[in-house]
């Protein structure tokens, strides 16, 4: 009887063969080499804003992810935007703080935190709910104001109807006064509480797209080949001409029809900041477009103090480009910014988890800012000033 138990039969033979096959290294060739089968973490597992980037990378097609990620040309300024925060040290004050006050007022808008959502385009390629979901997530995160891009994938009116939080509008001027007037009247009628006009010139190539070898030229963010028979462009370098007509006198014209605060975005020099004041601008927005305009331009952070000095407190100064941590926000505020804008972080949150991802990403940044203020001994935003930092800009 005992001998019969160990005799090989058909069932045992097949079981042994299956075990051998399962353990064979040849099994690896049956795996799908083009997909990542790792587990997507739960939203509650997100601990930093950078955690959302990894999830967005997994969820998005490569051209769509690259559209959010890239900077101009060699991406020198993209790297410099982050490096600049390493050149600013925080010098905490020995003062115990338990619950810092992060509330502020900005151009008539009440802020629970000195944080805005910077204008970014095409949210539908990130998530099926698009900009309305971004707005809903921002509103849920302590009523964070959202600046809606002029090239949003959903009309401003529909976005404004998706929630009841603060909402601003960003304009790319057209070389057509009537078109600009119609847009400005329309968004103000739909509830825009401020108008942000972008003035930097996007005339650069994005080499990361070129390096894709045009594998998917029709995808969002991809390179589209022109098949038009209109002939060569009027300039030899194929520089887009739709933003090369700007003149400061345009703001004198818009000042007459814009009844809400008017802001200039893309200021990188004290001279331009002073011109903004001459034309009655309500706030100066220091930004290099997230390093998507002119490569080898300075980082926004390293020019911020000089621009703040040039403005001299006459109008608020808003800042964006490169922020990834709550301590980064504290550094920008200490250098004179009245509020900061977050661009890529909100896009990562939307792509990863929709509206709830935007909310969670913003709440993480808000919590990190509070923690940084507590550690620095700042009981309120009024206590945040240049005595809090040491800079070593090149």
Question: Annotated active-site positions, please?
Answer: 289
CA distance 332 to 337: 6
Element (H, E) at 77: helix 76-86
Q: Are 287 and 266 in contact (CB under 8 A)?
A: yes
DSSP 118: P
Helices (H), 313-393: 326-334, 344-353, 355-376
CB contact set of 321 (below 8 Å; sequence gap of 6+): 81, 287, 288, 289, 290, 291, 299, 300, 301
Phi/psi at 246 (5° precision): -60, 140
Q: Going along the chain, which residue ranges are E strands?
A: 88-90, 104-106, 109-111, 115-117, 146-148, 167-171, 195-198, 262-267, 283-286, 317-320, 339-342, 389-391
Token pair 């462009």 is at which residue? 233
Other Cβ atoms closer than 10 A to 81 = 25
First to last CA, the chain: 87
């Amino acid at each position: 009887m005992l001998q019969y138990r160990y005799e090989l039969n058909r069932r045992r033979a097949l079981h042994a063969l299956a075990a051998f096959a399962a353990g064979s290294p040849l099994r690896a060739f049956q795996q799908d080499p083009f997909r990542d089968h790792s587990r997507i973490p739960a939203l509650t597992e997100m601990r930093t804003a950078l955690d959302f980037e990894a999830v967005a990378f997994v969820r998005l097609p490569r051209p769509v992810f690259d559209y959010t990620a890239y900077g101009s040309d060699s991406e020198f300024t993209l790297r410099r935007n982050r490096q600049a925060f390493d050149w600013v040290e925080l010098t905490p004050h020995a003062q115990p703080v338990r619950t810092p006050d992060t509330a502020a007022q900005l151009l008539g808008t009440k802020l629970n935190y000195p944080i805005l959502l910077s204008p970014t385009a095409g949210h539908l390629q990130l998530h099926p709910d698009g900009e309305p979901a971004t707005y809903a997530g921002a509103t849920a995160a302590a009523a964070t104001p959202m600046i809606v891009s002029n090239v949003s994938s959903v009309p401003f009116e529909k976005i404004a109807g998706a929630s009841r939080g603060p909402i601003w509008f960003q304009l790319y001027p057209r070389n057509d006064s009537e078109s600009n007037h119609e847009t400005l009247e329309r968004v103000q009628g739909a509830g825009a509480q401020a108008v942000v006009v972008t003035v930097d010139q996007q005339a650069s190539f994005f080499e990361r797209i070129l390096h894709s070898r045009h594998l998917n030229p029709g995808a969002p963010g991809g390179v589209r080949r022109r098949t038009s028979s209109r002939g060569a462009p009027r300039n030899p370098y194929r520089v887009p001409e739709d933003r090369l007509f700007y003149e400061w006198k345009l703001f004198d014209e818009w000042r007459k029809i814009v009844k809400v605060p008017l802001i200039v975005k893309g200021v990188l020099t004290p001279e331009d900041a002073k011109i903004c004041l001459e034309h009655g601008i309500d706030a100066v927005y220091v930004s290099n477009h997230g390093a998507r305009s002119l490569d080898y331009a300075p980082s926004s952070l390293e020019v911020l103090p000089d621009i703040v000095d040039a403005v001299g407190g006459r109008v608020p100064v808003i800042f964006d480009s490169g922020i990834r941590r709550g301590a980064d926000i504290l550094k920008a505020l200490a250098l004179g910014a009245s509020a900061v804008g977050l661009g890529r972080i909100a896009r990562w949150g939307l792509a990863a988890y929709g509206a709830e991802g935007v909310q969670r990403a913003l709440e993480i940044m808000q919590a990190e800012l509070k923690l940084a203020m507590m550690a620095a001994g700042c009981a309120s935003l009024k206590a945040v000033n240049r005595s809090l930092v040491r800079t070593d800009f090149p």
